[in-house]
Amino acid sequence: MIAANNPALQSWIDVPSDNDFPIQNIPFGIAKIGRGQPRVATIIGDTVIDLSVLSELGYFKALDIDTSVFYLSRLNEFMGLGKATTRAVRDRISKIFQHDNPELQDNIDHKAQALHDVNDVQMLMPVEVRDYTDFYSSREHATNVGTMFRDPDNALLPNWLHLPVGYHGRASSIVVSGTPIHRPKGQKKPKDAEKPSFGASNLLDFELEMGFIVGKSTQLGERVSTSEADDYIFGLVLFNDWSARDIQAWEYVPLGPFLGKSFASSVSPWVVTLDALDHFRISGPKQDPPVLPYLEYEGNKRFDIALEVLIQPEGGTPHCVCKSNYKYMYWNAAQQLAHHTVNGCNLNIGDMCASGTISGTTPDSFGSMLELSWRGTKPIAMPDGSERKFINDGDTVIMRGFGEKNGLRIGFGEVTGKILSAIE
């Protein structure tokens, strides 16, 4: 077991039992504290820890690393130190905060400099996203969409069981949790309309996804095998892949998603390392037909991470509309990465790969309004008496996720985004 993952560890920082960030998590993010510059940080309980200050005070001296990475406004350079080093940093943080370690615990001056209440901190984009790829890897989601738009008897297209279908998305519009999103405008052509028209999307949707962040680059021509993939995946975030269904439906033939997707995606601010998620690994589904050799894999490559989506109307209370799980993936992240690089396409540190909408087997576990309201035919009742087929102006969409096992909870916090009216 990775030492920092030991469920028996306790911190001298108080962590409530339903908190996502016990000492066994130690995620990484970019925090802006007061009027200071953005810095690399971690969090235990509700306490944000400025790693640049800890480094300045000498707490990482024994690691012999380039500590300039802690003063940057993105994790790219930190991730680029390599897993052996980032793992050593996580281990060291774990040691500093264990309940029986007095070195920082008993230093009031150092604590005042390095520790901050989460409410006093603004979280920024954790990484500079280089390229963004979106997969389509939940069998339940692909089956639902195929059933709705094509043919229930042939819901999956012929390639779906043979390769992890994906497309290249837009990196520039990936934003951190809390960033408001204007309803996009675009071309739409309702079924009964003769001609397309231009205007605000009427069918604005979320997609419940998880994103993994690449922490190691490859050279052009190089492939990453499924057994090497974990070394390239630094960690995961919650990912809301906002989608305008009416724009998407009209534009997507034959080259796939474009403006119906590229207006925004939102991510949670704390990157939970693959190491921290080790407890929650589970085996995959039987893949039938058998996959080609480059997609075969060994070991537990899926993760049991409970996910939920809530909609909060303007001035109202959040209402849960979906409970799903990251385990509902037919294609795992290692297979996605092996497929991504099998043609020799190179990876960059900071690449973001999203899972695709994660839908479970029951109607309350579907990961988009498109499926939850079954194309608008089954509206969702809200506590304030209103209904939702898709997302309204003023609605905030909240996604949360955590793994829980043997009394240990490792979570992601949340990703939120409020929809504002379209810009005139």
C-beta of 74 vs 245, nearer to Mn ion: 245
Min dist. Cβ of residue 119 to Mn ion (A): 32
The stretch among 98-106, 160-168, 203-211, 392-400 that binds Mn ion (CB under 5 A) is 203-211
C-beta of 4 vs 142, nearer to Mn ion: 142
- Please state, in angstroms and rounded to a whole number, the distance separating the CA atoms of residues 280 and 273: 12
Min dist. Cβ of residue 371 to Mn ion (A): 12
The stretch among 147-155, 207-215, 281-289, 341-349 that binds Mn ion (CB under 5 A) is 207-215
Amino acid identity of residue 413, one-letter, is: G
Min dist. Cβ of residue 365 to Mn ion (A): 17
Distances (CA, A) of 86 to 79, 89, 181, 195, 353: 7, 5, 33, 55, 20
Binding residues among 305-364 for Mn ion as defined by CB under 5 A: none
Distances (CA, A) of 259 to 93, 195, 245, 394: 42, 19, 10, 22
Cis (ω within 30 of 0) for the bond into 289? Answer: yes
Min dist. Cβ of residue 413 to Mn ion (A): 21
273 token code pair: 């390392």
What b/e string do you get for 301-331 counting C-beta neighbours within 10 Å, with b at 16 or more? bbbbbbbbbbbbbeeeebbebbebbbbbbbb
Mark whether 279 is an active-site residue: no
Binding of residue 134 to Mn ion (CB under 5 A): yes
C-beta of 78 vs 239, nearer to Mn ion: 239
C-beta of 207 vs 251, nearer to Mn ion: 207
Q: Of these, 20, 131, 207, 308, which contacts Mn ion (CB under 5 A)? A: 207
The stretch among 103-111, 212-220, 241-249, 409-417 that binds Mn ion (CB under 5 A) is 241-249
Q: Which of 110, 116, 141, 279 is catalytic?
A: 141
Min dist. Cβ of residue 354 to Mn ion (A): 6
C-beta of 207 vs 371, nearer to Mn ion: 207
- Please state, in angstroms and rounded to a whole number, the distance separating the CA atoms of residues 324 and 42: 27
What single-letter DSSP state applies at residue 163? S
Residue 121 CA, distance from chain mean position: 21
Other beta carbons within 10 Å of 348: 14
Q: What residues are paired with 238 via a beta bridge?
A: 210
C-beta of 8 vs 255, nearer to Mn ion: 255
Binding of residue 205 to Mn ion (CB under 5 A): no
C-beta of 241 vs 395, nearer to Mn ion: 241
329 token code pair: 């993936």
Q: Of these, 205, 241, 371, 414, which contacts Mn ion (CB under 5 A)? A: 241
What's the full length of the chain, in residues?
Answer: 424
- Please state, in angstroms and rounded to a whole number, the distance separating the CA atoms of residues 106 and 108: 6
The stretch among 41-49, 115-123, 132-140, 281-289 that binds Mn ion (CB under 5 A) is 132-140
Question: Site for Mn ion (CB under 5 A): how many residues?
Answer: 3
Min dist. Cβ of residue 117 to Mn ion (A): 35
The stretch among 117-125, 176-184, 236-244, 305-313 that binds Mn ion (CB under 5 A) is 236-244
Give just the sign of the alpha carbon dihedral 9, 13, 17, 18.
negative
368 token code pair: 């988009």
Report the residue closest to Mn ion, judged by CB: 241
Give just the sign of the alpha carbon dihedral 227, 232, 233, 239.
negative
Min dist. Cβ of residue 237 to Mn ion (A): 14
- Please state, in angstroms and rounded to a whole number, the distance separating the CA atoms of residues 30 and 350: 14
Active site residues: 141
Site residues (CB under 5 A) for Mn ion? 134, 207, 241
